[in-house]
Structure 1
């Protein structure tokens, strides 16, 4: 009986020690309120006319910014899209969008980072923030 007690006690201690060494699940950090506010300002003044208030876009002309492979996908690709614009057709999740998007390279690295962070965390999206350093790294690349 005594050996059973020690086995139970020992396994409880091991379980407790293991639980303490487990790392807590990491949650994507929420962007700072100031970043989201600045991003919303850029979105409202530049992007809203084509992509709409709710990010739904215009069918077959301007793509939606609701969750899709472009918005939540690789940040460099999205930064390049904003810097260089797009010509011709773009396919997103099986649908084709044909309206050209002008290059927005006149925006600062901060403005592009803010607006992309805003888009990646609005309209049902939850994706990592874009930093000005990441935008700067993409300038001049094609």
Structure 2
């Protein structure tokens, strides 16, 4: 392979990765927009508009180690709810959260994409197929 062919191939690979990244970024923004509405309708009363929660009562989602450590666990918490002790950012929380199993796989993915990419969190995109696998 001569230098010109190699350079052309390298440029094509770069363009392909750039297009894929732009598509994923656009997909994430769209998902987060939908997730923000779902969050406002179902989560904001406990976790607050800033995702800070209420110390001692409702754990924070903002900069949350618990949320960001395990995507599968986060999916289960949204679908099935949670009870008992939950340690978030070094603070123990005791209580319960209702499950939202009436949300579609897409809605669960969207709200997770919103909370996992807001308030100082930075996470990979969650796809509805991933939610579907966990739900089964």
In terms of fraction of residues, the more helix-rich structure is: 2
Cα offset for 1:124?
0.9
CA RMSD between the two structures? 2.5
Q: Normalization by structure 1: what TM-score?
A: 0.75
The corresponding residue for 1:60 is 56
Deviation at 1:32, TM superposition (A): 3.0
CA distance in 2, matches of 1:93, 1:34: 29
TM, length-normalised to structure 2: 0.79
Unaligned runs of 5+ in 1: 1-16
Q: Give the structure 2 partner of residue 9 of structure 1.
A: none
Report deviation, 1:113. Answer: 0.3
Q: Which runs of 5+ in 2 are unaligned?
A: 1-6
Tell me if the contact between 2:78 and 2:99 (Cα under 8 Å) persists in the aligned partners. yes
Alpha-carbon displacement from aligned partner over 1:29-77 (angstroms, at most 9, x marks no partner): 5353221110000000000000000000011111100112222222111
Task: Report the structure number with the largest CA radius of gyration.
Answer: 1
- 2:135 is matched with 139
Q: Between Structure 1 and Structure 2, how many residues are aligned?
A: 122
> Hey, which bits of structure 1, 4+ residues long, moved more than 6 A?
none
Q: Hey, what's the Cα distance between the residues in 1 that align with 2:109 and 2:44?
A: 17
